[in-house]
Structure 1
């Protein structure tokens, strides 16, 4: 199993929701940056990210190597099955809703 496989079992929309949930529930803190530090961060900031996201990216986050071995194969299989079941339920609900509007 590759290091990235445990993360790949989640559809992109679930990863996005989890990211938003974490950001909402983590709170914020005000910090003071010297002008030169702010300008350096701003120079490295990507167009689609906030200053906070740029700082997070620049200082680094825990390596995916640190996540290796957290989930065993049985747990991964269980998670995949749960996600597949949820996807099937979602598809059925969408189909049912689509039928109502025909």
Structure 2
């Protein structure tokens, strides 16, 4: 199944500028956002590939850590602005 998303011309150009030779826009976005590759995700979800499953768990935990760090940063900035 394929979904289409709207992005600004500026954002499209940014992704295109960072896209590697032979890489699709989806692959470039996943790489830039730190998401799992479609191949690794497929192996992890199919079962039996412990390395892929461990890598997926690591990616998820890293994303959670980044979210917590970002939330802390935003909270600190908000509190500093109120002072």
The answer to whether TM tops 0.5 is no
- The structure in which a higher percent of residues are helix is 2
Task: Kindly indicate whether structure 1 or structure 2 has the higher relative contact order, using CA contacts under 8 Å at least 6 residues apart.
Answer: 1
Q: Which has the larger radius of gyration?
A: 1
Q: TM-score, normalised by structure 2?
A: 0.45
